[in-house]
Amino acid sequence: MEHPADFARLHARIEGRVQGVGFRAYTLRQARQLGLTGWVRNRWDGSVEVVAEGPKGALEDLARRLKVGPSAAYVTHVEVQWAPYQGEFSAFTVRSTG
């Protein structure tokens, strides 16, 4: 089993046609499939924001999947920032728009 030292935190902002196309549900499914914790939400500026924690390899996989998105989405830009693992979350959830 991986140790928390192998874990990290990803903070991503996804731009394009990413609201009203199932992007949050897609991200929720992908993150849970990868065993990650954190959240996804729509932002008032039309982007989608994701904070996820877990094994670095799984987070890198999620970042690749965010660049694709669900079939109805058109992703134009993904900004990813990395931070140390904090162990803040117990599950992956959808949050209210912020």
Catalytic machinery residues: 24, 42
* CA dist., res. 6 & res. 18, Å (int): 30
* CA dist., res. 89 & res. 93, Å (int): 9
